[in-house]
């Protein structure tokens, strides 16, 4: 009789003595999986982890996860200070406005072709290196609006910071601080006097000293 009692009690003492917590966790995990079932995409959190472990289900990507799969990458031809061409796709740099090709500015009361200088600055910056452009929208002329990068550097921001473009507040305030720093440093167009490109396109040509 003593042996029989000992035999009945042994598994209970063995379970407590060896590893109670892993056994409890395993039982809870199995119970949760049985309740939740295995159909459909796994929910986030612990349920997703459990299903991945027991059933080999891979987690699905988060909704609205940003992707650069639609980025346009290649060698760029500079059209003007805020427009480039990659493989025949005309791309307008988003949220900035550079002087037009024929636009002039005044430095020490002398005319300088700031539109041309802006284009040269962008072309010199890019050189023959590949550029990657992330589409944001499309303008009324059918051009792609994009943030373009050279080796990870934001070219839109660089043009504004160098004083060869202005922050296009009408569409975004992303580069307002870059413009402020350029005006303080008096670089690019800020070295002298100029008409904002959007006013110049509407016929504005006078510069107030």
Q: Say which of 75, 90, 113, 143 is annotated catalytic.
A: 143
Stated as kind and residue range, the H or E segment containing 74 is strand 72-80
Active-site residue, selected from the candidate residues 92, 117, 149, 179: 92
Angle at alpha carbon of residue 114, lines to 112 and 117, rounded to 5°? 105
Q: CB under 8 Å to 175, separation ≥6 — which residues?
A: 95, 96, 156, 157, 160, 167, 168
Residue (of 96, 141, 148, 91) closest to 125 by Cα position: 148
If DSSP codes are grouped into helix, strand and coil, which group holds residue 126?
Answer: helix
What span, in angstroms and rounded, lies between the C-alpha atoms of 120 and 164? 10
Distance of CA 172 to the CA centre of its chain: 15
d(CA 192, CA 198): 18
Q: Which residues contact 22 (CB under 8 A, 6 or more apart)?
A: none
170 belongs to the catalytic site: no
Catalytic residue among 51, 100, 117, 179: 100
Chain position carrying tokens 């910071």: 161
> Is position 92 annotated as part of the catalytic site?
yes
Q: Beta strand pairing status for 110-112 and 105-107? A: antiparallel
- As annotated, the active-site residues are 92, 100, 143
């Amino acid at each position: 009789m003593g042996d029989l009692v000992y035999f009945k009690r042994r598994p209970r003492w063995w379970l407590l003595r060896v590893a109670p917590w892993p056994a409890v966790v395993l039982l809870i995990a199995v119970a949760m999986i049985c309740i939740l079932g295995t159909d459909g995409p796994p929910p986030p959190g612990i349920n997703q982890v459990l299903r991945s472990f027991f059933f080999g289900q891979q987690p699905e990507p988060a909704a609205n996860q940003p992707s650069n799969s639609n980025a346009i990458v290649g060698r760029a031809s500079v059209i003007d200070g805020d427009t480039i061409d990659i493989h025949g796709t005309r791309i307008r740099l988003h949220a900035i406005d550079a002087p037009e090709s024929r636009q002039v500015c005044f430095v020490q009361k002398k005319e300088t072709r700031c539109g041309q200088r802006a284009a040269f600055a962008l072309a010199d910056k890019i050189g023959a290196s590949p550029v990657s452009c992330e589409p944001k929208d499309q303008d009324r002329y059918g051009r792609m609006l994009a943030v373009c990068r050279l080796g990870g550097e934001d070219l839109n921001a660089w043009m504004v910071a160098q004083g060869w473009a202005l922050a296009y507040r009408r569409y975004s305030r992303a580069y307002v601080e870059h413009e402020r720093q350029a005006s303080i440093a008096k670089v690019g167009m800020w070295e002298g006097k100029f008409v904002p490109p959007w006013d110049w396109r509407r016929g504005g040509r006078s510069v107030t000293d």
